Structure 1
Amino acid sequence: MVQLREVSVEEMRMADDYDVIIVGAGGAGLAAGLTAADAGKRVLLVEADDRAGGSTSLSGGVFYAAGTSLQREAGIEGDTAEDMYRYYMTLNQYKPEPAIVRRLCKDATPAFEWLRELGVTFRTEDLYASGVDKIRRGHRAAGHGAEITEVLEGHLSTRGADLALGTRVERLLIENGRCRGIVVDGEPVTAGAVVLATGGFGANRAMLAELYPDAALHGDRHWYIGSDHCQGDGLTLALEAGGELTPRNRGLLLLTPGFARDLESYLPGWLMMVNRQGHRFVDETIEYSVLATVLREQEGRECWAILDEDARLESATTQYRPAPNWHEERLLDHVAAGTLQTGATLEELAQRCGLPADAMKVTAERYSEMSDRGEDTDYFKPAGMLRPVRRGPFYAARINAAIVCWTGVGIRIDAEAHVLASDGTPIHGLYAAGETTGGMHGDCYAAGGASIANAIVFGRIAGRNAAALA
């Protein structure tokens, strides 16, 4: 892979002729940099990590969009940005910023086609329904997120852009209400415009507790799937410059039994899940994008995943989605580690989990009867995922929404990616894109790929507008 030319802090300071400085070199930053460079501007990217790519490079590489060429190749006709917008806003009860979401939906299609033209590989067999509406809008890159960032960096490396790695920005240069550059190691580096694209704050426990308390509720059970360098730098820089943040306590959490810090987006669909009252409360196969929101309504914001010995023995052959930690022998390892409880009878298991034995016994009997009939008349789970809970020993794992995937609190921007001051006016010369921004998230994550679409769409908008101003 062709990489960007690296520069030192001294070389940055001596250059003194950058048009656009981009803080962060993940998906949003690389998209902003390439767009600005293609407009003929001299670009500098400043990245805290020792390589470019950010959290985008660690992701599954799914891009959420409607009305794309790949959909048409797969025989999907008539899907539109307006359909995507209505779905996105309805799912989230119109809590996100409508102008931001509409721009995301409108520009997602051309941004996707741009990635294809650059050389990112998208195949029809990797197109899937990543949201709860079952429309196939999830476009997975063949090489996952790493391919997206490698292609962007490869193109940017031929445009004469500079990259400073292992470097954190101390503050922004604000003069007479306009952003004029950055300060690094006490030295100013000036530019015509600055784009903040530092990612989220999932690796900053103090900021999680303050801005996203749901992601700190379960203490050490929480862990973050993104880059360790996502410390919320962009939010801090924007606030110091007079910007403001979007509403708190928004983002995406995944359910986890705490077996290991391995990313498994889904729990096995064949589990029976019960709340503290010993009752089922959900179709266990629903999309991860809404499951954490459902769990939030349960007492203690937790539940228990129950299975019997037959289900354990059959686990390797009944995987609805990949879940290696729930395979036959691994489950016994979790018993030995104490993260999976076991009991010879349901009553014994309930006692160990602190659950009402009578209620759990009734729930298991009803669930087993429905499994025998092949029809879930309570929550309508697919028949193929029904497994009786009847033969001991029995097993139970405590489930929490504790995997932090995406932080949805961020810098407030408008539809042109301007950073907005506390009075609602743009801070001249300052733009932001990607996970460091907010406004496009409600209580539910819209669908797999929404975060990468957000990064690329608003990265392009920020890069284009920063270049025009510079």
Structure 2
Amino acid sequence: MMDRDYDVIVVGAGGAGLAAAHMAARAGARVLMVEAGDKAGGSTALSGGVFYAAGTSLQRRAGIEDTPEALYRYYLHINQYKLDPALVRRLCYDAAPAFEWLVGLGVDFPEENLYCSGVDKIRRGHRARGHGAEIAEVLEGSLSGLAVDMALRSRVQDLLVEDGRVAGILVEGDRVTAGAVVLATGGFGANRQLLAELYPTAAAQGELSWYIGSAHSQGDGIRIGRRLGAGITRPDRGLLLMTPGWEKELETYLPPWLIHVTHEGRRFVDESCEYSILSELLNEQTARECFAIFDEAARREARSTTAPNWSADRLAHFAARGQIAQADTLEGLAAQLGIDAATLATTVAAANRAAETGWDAHFFKSAEHLKPISSPPFYGARIRPAIVCWTGTGLRIDPEARVLDQADRPIAGLYAAGETTGGMFGPCYAGGGASIGNAVVFGRVAGSNAAAEAVQ
């Protein structure tokens, strides 16, 4: 073993980086973590703390029969196979062991927090009691007593290469050498330039779009990986949420009692379906937008806990500010919003019949979510896919978390995990918690393999 500062350097201290550092240190490596922010946790700490997995002990206690193979098939089918099956298979089969590992470290996943977080209607979403902050805190705490140093407020400029392999990093002008490097810097949601290049659907919304993750998610791993010749996965991947853009506040779900219509005046979806489906369908509509239509009676009755901005007083506030269109007739509302008035009238008439009979003959939305639109004034809110939850384009890796070059050859000494990478997600988000599952699963893989390569 040649003289070097550390065995493994992990760039980024979010969920993926913390998992990688733990596994590398447990394997006997001396580890340095380098984090651009002033504390560890990254976007994982800011998340809802859901871990998506199949075949877990928590599911078994709840009487749920589930398997990694079923999860794998679901992933492929919901995304029309537009992802990397080898990566997805590793993710699905390693998710349950990674979940049990988190439980063993001390993360509390209550049974009452096990829920259907995808469109598969199987309870695979495991929400930590303390949300993402708990997962991050437990992972960081697990490093206590291990040979792990952490440098905060330090941004990596480049990778060091010696004899054809990655041999360390250049950070704040200093050279730090190692036997292997793991890139776990998160995505690029906070970088407008990379959004325009790699996630144009998000960038198309301009200033309306905003990122819910860490402000330090600037795509550093992608930047320094590409400089070394790393391959990049298919662009325009990620998850956007629908929003009227009134405030930059995260509201995952819009109220299901709304009806969403296109510029043509037609509904296009059951408005109560999962957010991942709604945003993907919205991207296919004219101008990538739709309009939420409701009436005064619905506004007065609005009491939403999952979407606080859609409460009665807030709706009145936004209407007074001109952020919600209003008119005494549907024709007047259609004229303000640029909607075909005749078709909108037909659509609203059908919605009113559905509310009266309790039967939605077009999209079969549950009767509890059916409301008439008959009491003026009538309201219309422009809805666009503009909240960036995570970015899904990134460094190309193989199932061992090795970074691949543009000819799909592993770059010696370089690994990556989490939102820095791509290939695990297609056009549709599999379910809440898939991104944290991806971070922890491949963080563990990357850390273990980096240590195996470095400690010889």
Shift of 1:160: 3.2
Given candidates 394, 404, 407, the residue that maps to 1:423 is: 407
- For structure 2, the residue ranges without an aligned partner over 5 or more in a row are none
> Structure 2 CA distance, aligned partners of 1:326 and 1:396?
13
* TM-score normalised according to structure 2 size: 0.98
AA in 2 matched with 1:108: A
3-state SS of paired residue (2:169)? strand
**What SS does structure 1 have at the residue aligned with 2:182?**
strand
What corresponds to 1:7 in structure 2?
none
The answer (yes or no) to whether the contact 1:47–1:166 under 8 Å persists in 2 is yes
Per-residue deviation, 1:238:
0.6
The separation in 1 between residues aligned to 2:362 and 2:312, in whole angstroms, is 28
TM-score, normalised via structure 1 length: 0.95
In structure 1, what is the equivalent of residue 93 of structure 2? Answer: 106
- SS in structure 2 opposite 1:67? coil
Aligned: 1:120 with 2:107: yes
> Residue 422 of structure 1: CA displacement?
1.2
Partner of 2:296: 309
Q: In 1, Cα distance between the equivalents of 2:162 and 2:410?
A: 14
Q: 2:126 pairs with 120, 126, 139, which one?
A: 139
Which position in structure 2 is the counterpart of 1:467?
A: 451
**How do residues 143-182 of structure 1 correspond to structure 2 at under 5 angstroms?**
143-182=130-169
Shift of 1:176: 2.3
Aligned length: 452
Please give the alpha-carbon distance, in whole angstroms, between the structure 2 residues aligned to 1:268 and 1:385.
9
Counterpart of 2:389?
405
Given that residues 342 and 394 in structure 1 are in contact (C-alpha distance below 8 angstroms), is that contact kept between their aligned partners in structure 2? yes
Q: Equivalent residue of 1:156, what SS?
A: coil
Distance in 2, matches of 1:293 and 1:283, equals 13
Give the distance between the partners of 1:446 and 1:252, measured in 2 at CA. Answer: 10
Shift of 1:16: 4.7
In 1, Cα distance between equivalents of 2:174 and 2:30: 19
Question: Is 2:186 the partner of 1:203?
Answer: no
SS of corresponding position for 2:266: coil
CA contact (8 A) 1:365 1:390 kept: no
What is the alpha-carbon distance in structure 2 between the residues aligned to residue 291 and residue 155 of structure 1? 38
For the residues of structure 1 that align with 2:120 and 2:360, how far apart are their CA atoms? 21
The 3-state SS of whatever aligns with 1:244 is coil
1:49 maps onto 2:49 in alignment:
no
> Counterpart of 1:122 in 2: which secondary structure?
coil
Aligned to 1:253: 240
Once residues 160 and 39 of structure 1 are traced to their aligned partners in structure 2, the CA distance between those partners, rounded to angstroms, is 10
**Aligned mate of 1:80, from 48, 67, 70:** 67
1:98-156 residue CA offsets vs partner (Å, 9 max, x unmatched)? 10000000000000000001000001111111111111000001100000000000111
Residue 456 of structure 1: aligned partner: 440
Q: Match of 1:113, as an amino acid?
A: E
- State the partner residue of 2:219: 232
2:29/2:147 contact within 8 Å kept:
no
CA distance in 1 between counterparts of 2:352 and 2:392 reads 39
2:14 alignment partner AA: G
Residues 161-208 of structure 1: CA distance to partner in whole angstroms, max 9, x if unpaired? 111111111100012221000011222100111000000000000100
Aligned ranges 1:313-392 → 2 under 5 Å: 313-316=300-303, 319=304, 322-392=306-376
Contact 1:26 1:198 in 2 (8 A): yes
Q: Deviations over 1:379-407 (max 9, x none)?
A: 01111000111111111110000000010
Percent identity, please.
62
1:26 aligns with 2:14: yes
Alignment partner of 1:193 out of 163, 177, 180: 180
Quote the offset at 1:358 in angstroms: 1.7
- Structure 1 stretches lacking a partner, 5+ long: 1-14
Find the aligned partners of 2:275 and 2:125 in 1 and give their Cα distance: 14
